[in-house]
Amino acid sequence: MSAVTIQQMADRVAQLLEERLGLGGRGLSVKLKRAGRTLPKKVRDSGRVLAQAAQKGQNPKLLGQIDMADVTEAYDVCVKHLAAIDPVGRRRDLFAGMVGSVGFGVLVLLVALFGFLAWRGYF
């Protein structure tokens, strides 16, 4: 496996992070940092392995230090997880959660208001 292949793997994972999670930034390591705890620990660690391998791949002397089996496994873990993410479903769930929490807050406020009015004798 060459440095070009490793860089292509890193670019593909960075592209998936941008498409599926909407993360911006230059390079895989920046996008992984922005993803933070959005990704599971195993995927974050695999992404870091891939980013470090892409960085080492830039230097021909360090290319021999890269374990290609680890890089391939890290790539597979990242792509498998990121390909399963539905960006439209994530937005829909986020919107539904926000509407639900606001609705619950309004419901609690109305119950408290009616309780107060009943306590004061207006009902």
Residue 9 contacts by C-beta under 8 Å, 6 or more apart in sequence?
50, 54, 71, 75
Using 50, 70 and 90 to split pLDDT, how confident is the model at 111?
very high
In single-letter form, the type of residue at position 53 comes to A
Residue 1 has pLDDT above 80, yes or no: no
Supply the pLDDT for residue 112.
96
C-alpha distance from residue 103 to each of 52, 108, 109 (Å): 46, 9, 10
Which residues have CB under 8 Å from 72's CB, separation 6+? Answer: 1
pTM (global) more than 0.95: no
Task: Name the least confident of 4-8, 23-27, 52-56.
Answer: 23-27
**Quick one: pLDDT at residue 123?**
76
Q: How far apart are the first and last CA of the chain?
A: 78
The answer to whether residues 3 and 58 touch, using CB atoms and an 8 Å cutoff, is yes
- Determine what percent of the chain is predicted with pLDDT higher than 70: 99
Q: How confident is the model over 28-84, as pLDDT tens digits?
A: 999 999 988 989 999 999 999 999 999 999 888 888 888 899 999 999 999 999 999
What's residue 3's pLDDT? 85
